[in-house]
Amino acid sequence: MSINSNFSYLFFLKDSGVNSFLQNSPNKHYKATKNNAPLNRVSHPNNIQNIESLNQLEGFIKTSNNCPLKNQALNTVFADGNPSSKIMLIGEAPGAEEDKLGKPFVGAAGQLLNKMLAAINLDRNSVYITNIVPWRPPNNRAPNTEEILQCLPFIQKHIEIIQPSILVLLGGTATKAILATTLGITKLRGKWHEYNSLIIKEPIPTMAMYHPAFLLRSPGHKKEAWEDLQKIQKKLQL
**Domain ranges, ordered by start, for the chain:** 52-237
Q: What is the pLDDT of residue 8?
A: 53
> Does residue 43 surpass a pLDDT of 90?
no
Q: Choose which CATH entry (3.40.470.10, 3.40.30.10, 1.10.3720.10, 3.40.640.10) describes domain 52-237.
A: 3.40.470.10
Helix, strand, coil shares of the chain, percent, nearest 5, are 45, 10, 45
Tell me the residue type at 107. Answer: G
* pLDDT band at residue 122 under the 50/70/90 scheme: very high
Q: What is the pLDDT of residue 46?
A: 63
pTM greater than 0.85: no
Q: What is the pLDDT of residue 28?
A: 34
Q: Which long-range contacts (CB under 8 A, 24 or more apart) does 100-109 make?
A: 100/74, 100/75, 101/75, 102/74, 102/75, 102/76, 102/77, 102/78, 103/77, 104/77, 104/79, 104/80, 104/129, 104/130, 104/131, 105/80, 105/129, 105/212, 108/213, 108/216, 109/211, 109/212, 109/213, 109/216
**Burial group, residue 136, by CB count within 10 angstroms (0-12, 13-18, 19+):** buried
